[in-house]
């Protein structure tokens, strides 16, 4: 009897978190009142001021408290300050966070990452700044999750190229996915970050990215979890992407219980707003093909005043979302 029950009580916990690239990049793409090197310097200084090594401690604390089996991260960027003689000061968000977790004796493995927008621009101080955006999936090393397949892909749908100084820059986004087995239960997890500027320029770009998810990693009969920053409001007041995913058969796990408003976005770019300004629910955990799975817990992480760093930075401009599932017998 106990053996039969043990199979029914397999637990899986999943977290998604946009950990914030550290600065608002929009002035680089939209401002024409200043030279590009000056704007790049100002943006880079904001990046330094939001201090990811400090924020990583606050993010790691939330991960330590919940110990999710799998984490999907968005804006897990790589930023490099490059001197005229090619010396590089590297800020690798993935390694910084993994090191912070290991210092807490919690070890995660990087399973898959997709490389999105990549750009290198001059500063007004004679240096260059290189920026690469990435989405990643991490798995806790002491979990029973065994990865059997992985893939990282960029969307075909994207904004038109933007002229930045004498460069033509394409903002690229994508998804990372894996198939895994947990105590005999096989499933697929996907993490993504859909285009935020689409709602301003053309909502059809973001909707097309959502359709690529459905036509790509969404084509499976396995229990399927979509996680990420979808930049489509769950109250259906924004783009049609959220509604399209729900109409395709996904369940919004936040709506399976009485978990509150679930707002995940957004704090000020400097992360110093005194009170929370989270007012939209765009960071989601969606599930499909898993009617015998039960959502037994869902919560926000990193959204309270006590979660801030000692220097009073919010951990990110987004709150993270955690879901815990009980996997029923098949």
Output phi, psi for 275, to 5 deg: -120, 160
d(CA 8, CA 196): 40
**What's the confidence (pLDDT) of residue 2?**
40
C-alpha 157: how far from chain center: 19
**What's the confidence (pLDDT) of residue 126?**
96
Residue ranges for the chain with pLDDT beneath 70: 1-8, 31, 198-203, 329-330
C-beta of residue 262 within 8 angstroms of C-beta of residue 321? yes
d(CA 126, CA 122): 7
d(CA 296, CA 200): 37
Query: Helix, strand or coil for residue 91?
Result: strand
d(CA 189, CA 210): 15
**What's the confidence (pLDDT) of residue 237?**
92
**Quick check: bond before 326 cis, omega within 30?**
no
**What's the confidence (pLDDT) of residue 329?**
66
**What's the confidence (pLDDT) of residue 291?**
81
Output phi, psi for 98, to 5 deg: -60, -40
**What's the confidence (pLDDT) of residue 9?**
79
**What's the confidence (pLDDT) of residue 8?**
56
Tokens of 302: 């990193």
d(CA 113, CA 177): 9
What is the domain partition of the chain in residue ranges?
Answer: 2-327
Closest CA to 299 of 13, 6, 12: 13
Give, in order, the Cα–Cα distances in Å from 144 to each of 5, 147, 183, 185.
18, 10, 7, 11
**Full DSSP string of 167-193:** EEE----EEEEEEEEETTEEEEEEEEE
**What's the confidence (pLDDT) of residue 165?**
84
CATH for 2-327? 3.60.10.10
Tokens of 139: 């798995």
Q: CA 154, 157, 161 angle in degrees (round to 5)?
A: 95
C-beta of residue 205 within 8 angstroms of C-beta of residue 252? no
Please report which residue ranges of 224-292 form alpha helices under DSSP H.
241-247
pLDDT tens track for 221-231: 999 999 999 99
d(CA 122, CA 292): 54
pLDDT tens track for 2-30: 444 444 579 999 999 999 999 999 899 88
**What's the confidence (pLDDT) of residue 4?**
42
What pTM, to 2 d.p., does this model score? 0.95
Tokens of 120: 């290198």
C-beta of residue 74 within 8 angstroms of C-beta of residue 94? no
Share above pLDDT 90 across residues of the chain, in percent, rounded to a whole number: 87
Give, in order, the Cα–Cα distances in Å from 264 to each of 105, 236, 282.
28, 15, 6
C-alpha 303: how far from chain center: 15
Q: CA 229, 75, 107 angle in degrees (round to 5)?
A: 100
**What's the confidence (pLDDT) of residue 239?**
92
Q: For residue 209, what are the contacts with CB-CB under 8 A and spacing of at least 6?
A: 155, 157, 173, 192, 194, 195, 198, 241
Beta strands in 183-282 (DSSP E): 185-193, 224-229, 251-252
């Amino acid at each position: 009897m106990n053996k039969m029950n043990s199979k029914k009580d397999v637990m899986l916990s999943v977290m998604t978190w946009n950990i914030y690239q550290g600065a608002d990049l929009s002035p680089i793409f939209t401002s024409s009142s200043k030279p590009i090197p000056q704007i790049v310097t100002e943006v880079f200084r904001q990046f330094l001021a939001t201090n990811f090594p400090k924020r990583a401690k606050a993010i790691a604390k939330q991960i330590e408290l919940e110990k999710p089996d799998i984490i999907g991260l968005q804006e897990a960027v790589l930023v490099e300050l490059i001197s005229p003689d090619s010396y590089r000061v590297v800020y690798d968000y993935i390694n910084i966070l993994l090191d912070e977790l290991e210092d807490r004796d919690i070890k995660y493995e990087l399973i898959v990452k997709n490389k999105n927008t990549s750009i290198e621009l001059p500063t007004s101080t004679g240096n260059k700044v290189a920026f690469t955006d990435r989405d990643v999936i991490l798995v806790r090393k002491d979990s029973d999750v065994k990865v059997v397949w992985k893939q990282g892909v960029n969307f075909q749908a994207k904004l038109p190229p933007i002229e930045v100084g004498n460069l033509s820059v394409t903002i690229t986004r994508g998804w990372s996915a894996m198939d895994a087995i947990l105590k005999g239960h096989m499933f697929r997890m996907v993490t993504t970050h859909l285009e935020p500027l689409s709602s301003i320029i053309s909502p059809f770009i973001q909707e097309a990215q959502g359709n690529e998810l459905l036509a790509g990693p969404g084509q499976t009969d396995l229990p399927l979890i979509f996680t990420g920053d979808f930049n489509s409001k769950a109250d259906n007041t924004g783009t049609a992407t959220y509604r399209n995913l729900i109409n395709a058969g996904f369940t919004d796990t936040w709506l399976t219980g009485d978990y509150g408003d679930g707002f995940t976005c957004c704090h000020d770019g400097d992360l110093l707003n005194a009170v929370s300004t989270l007012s939209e629910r765009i960071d989601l955990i969606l599930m499909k093909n898993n009617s015998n799975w039960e959502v037994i817990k869902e919560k926000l992480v990193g959204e309270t005043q006590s979660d801030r760093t000692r220097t009073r930075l919010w951990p990110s401009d987004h709150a993270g979302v955690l879901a815990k599932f009980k996997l029923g017998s098949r």
